[in-house]
Chains A and B, each alone.
Chain A
Amino acid sequence: MTEEEIKKTVFQLLQRIAPETDPSQLMPEENIREALNIDSYDALQFIVSISEKLNVDIPEEDYGKTSNLKSLLAYLSKKLEG
């Protein structure tokens, strides 16, 4: 899976949680939750949906790496390679 494909999936899943937003407008280092106004519950649902869709395990101590697009994409790419 290319980084572009991962990005597309991430955008789709974010849009499902925050339907009135446009995740593709996110800046790489912007805090996703703050920018899209996602609460703690939806943030957990987002991580669950990514993990299911891409079939990767995301342990709780790695949640911090999912806070912005840059680190999230890097983290997922690395997971999918391994």
Chain B
Amino acid sequence: MIKFQMPSLGADMEAGTLVEWRKQPGELLHRGDIIADVETQKGLIEIEVFDEGTLEKFLVKEGEKVPVGTVLALINDGKAEVSESAVPTEETPKPEIHPIEERPETPQEKTEEGERIKISPLARKIAEENRVDISLLQGTGPEGSIVKKDVEKAISEGVKPIQEAQKKTEETSAKLAAPNVNAMRMAVAAAMSKSNREIPHYYLEKRMDMSKAMDWVKEANKERPIQKRLLPVALLIKAVAKALDEVPDLNATWENGLQRKNEINIGFVVSLRSGGIVVPAILQTDSKSVDEIMENLNDLIPRARAFKLRSSELSQSTFTITSIGEGGADKVFGLIYPPQVGIVGFGEISEQPFADEGMLGIRPVVDVTLAADHRATDGLIGSKFLAALNRHLQNPEEL
């Protein structure tokens, strides 16, 4: 028996609310299946399972807010033993098939313009597919949130589809899944305060010649249809993954000492128009081609902005990249996302005088910074990493 726990989706997360179970007891689970929706300060997150087995029973009901690490459900993997005694041994009530209907209805506040409508991702998907105006629905889920059943009921009762309310709904739809701006601010504040309080950062900086890399991207894009064109950042991410492979002490966490990570999952900072940041991970970055990384970004960035990420994408990153992009600042000095031990910052790629082999020329260059945890590594390791990164960027065809 496997205990399925409330995952930690970042250093700033202490608890989460189980909004909706997406699987039922008796169902067969595969690695990567989405088992539940959990509400955090970063929005509603789809939680994946990492084990194979049959869903045995729920230990936490929809609507309950529980600390990280709480056992949410038991998964039967064919082994009789439950590893720890923390699981209640008394007869737990039989899993409720329709738990939502048995809870008292939460009074639903009148939805005013701009106010957030609480709805689970699954319910929203069904509503969108059937063009149901969710602003007209009464939620019966936790804290009055709209769940799958409410939408299905509305469809069966023929609630009028989106018409006059359409414009308003479209305007607000982007905000629906979003946690309020204040919660997002507090989540960033908590993580960054922890970082600044606990991690003794050291900083290194190196200017890198980007002429070969930019020529490579330009050539590559000539052959690609517009939808498949690369941004230089995809190449930068790949180069960082390769450099981490050479300097594994930076692809690690600091938890009672340095813990190297087997996978290189690079977290990419995505800023939100409403303020705040989300850092989804590009899983196994080192094994992906530059094209695959770009495809990954095309998938992740819009989902990050719509708060539609999966748990693995928020919890598995082993290193972080922040990139300013075109038209921005020349340099960025990051704060490490705990418990990671390093963050690389790319400033804007701009044309600058650059000396090479006794010749001065105007070249595209990028100022790259590394902030690293001095408990975990020393400047020599950091410097080695930046040198490796630079070397990879001078040989883009090998990336």
B226 and A19 contact, CB distance less than 8 A:
no
Residues B303-352 near A (CB distance < 8 A): 325-327
B297 and A41 contact, CB distance less than 8 A:
yes
- Name the contact of B231 in the complex, choosing from A33, A41, A59 (C-beta under 8 A): A41
CA distance A48 to B231 in the complex (A): 13
A19 and B326 contact, CB distance less than 8 A:
no
Residues A40-64 near B (CB distance < 8 A): 40-41, 43-44, 47-48, 51-52, 57-60
CA distance A41 to B270 in the complex (A): 10
- Name the contact of B222 in the complex, choosing from A19, A51, A58, A60 (C-beta under 8 A): A60
B325 and A48 contact, CB distance less than 8 A:
no
A57 and B174 contact, CB distance less than 8 A:
no
CA distance A18 to B226 in the complex (A): 21
The reply on A81 being an interface residue by CB < 8 A is no
The reply on A5 being an interface residue by CB < 8 A is no
Closest to B232 in A: A40
Tell whether A39 pairs with B221 under 8 Å between CB atoms, given A18-B273, A20-B273, A44-B229: no
B231 and A44 contact, CB distance less than 8 A:
yes
B325 and A41 contact, CB distance less than 8 A:
yes
Main SS class of interface, A: helix
CA distance A47 to B274 in the complex (A): 23
A48 and B226 contact, CB distance less than 8 A:
yes
The reply on A37 being an interface residue by CB < 8 A is yes
Interfacial chain B residues near A20, Cβ < 8 Å: 273-274
CA distance A9 to B363 in the complex (A): 37
A40 and B226 contact, CB distance less than 8 A:
no
Closest to A44 in B: B231
CA distance A51 to B229 in the complex (A): 13
CA distance A57 to B231 in the complex (A): 18
User: Would you give 21 A-B contacts (Cβ < 8 Å), ordered by A?
Assistant: A18-B273, A19-B171, A20-B274, A33-B326, A33-B327, A37-B273, A40-B231, A40-B325, A40-B326, A40-B327, A41-B231, A41-B325, A43-B326, A44-B229, A48-B226, A48-B227, A52-B227, A57-B226, A58-B226, A60-B222, A60-B229
